Amino acid sequence: MDQDQTAVLRAAIRDVPDFPKPGIVFKDITPLLGDPAAFRLAMELMAEMCADLKVDQVVAIESRGFIFGGALADRIGAGFVPVRKPGKLPWRRVSRAYDLEYGTDAVEMHQDALRPGARALVVDDVIATGGTARAVSHLVEQLGAHVVGHAFLLELSFLQGRGRLAGYEVRSLIRF
């Protein structure tokens, strides 16, 4: 992966000050998604970044993770597994709660989404604190599958989310 290519992607990400609350600078990826060349480049680089992992299933986190996870699964020849917020999936589910800064949340997947021994890649658009990705990893393992890694378009390094995923392979295209 070359720095000129990631610079193109960085240029397509907009800073939105004070969103969702004062003091936070939100990294808005919608300009990147709206630019066909930038989006294609992002997907090519993510596929290249994950090429050595031998993935059976891409496990993507709602909602922007679906955008990257679906396209990545197609490019690397893997299946796609959606992970959603509670109450959104119609079949029998497994669930995992996790802590937020103020409170808790949970994620769910179908209980038959992964076969035991499957090689799963957890995908999302951003890694911030790592709590959601960690909860998803536990769901994958609960179903008897193996987490071969995590892939993110961007990483907010100052939030140290990578530390919450200690013991797992973590890859990101862009770090802030």
**Catalytic site positions:** 64, 101
Q: Which residues contact 87 (CB under 8 A, 6 or more apart)?
A: none
109 close to 28: Cβ distance less than 8 angstroms: no
Q: Quick one: CA torsion of 79, 86, 107, 75, rounded to 10 degrees?
A: 20
Strands 170-175 and 14-17, by their bridges, are: unpaired
Q: What is the DSSP letter of 129?
A: S
Report the DSSP beta bridge partners of residue 75: none
Between CA 54 and CA 121 the distance in angstroms is: 9
DSSP assignment of 84-107, as one string? BSTT---S-EEEEEEEETTEEEEE
- 15 burial type by CB count under 10 A (0-12 exposed, 13-18 middle, 19+ buried): exposed
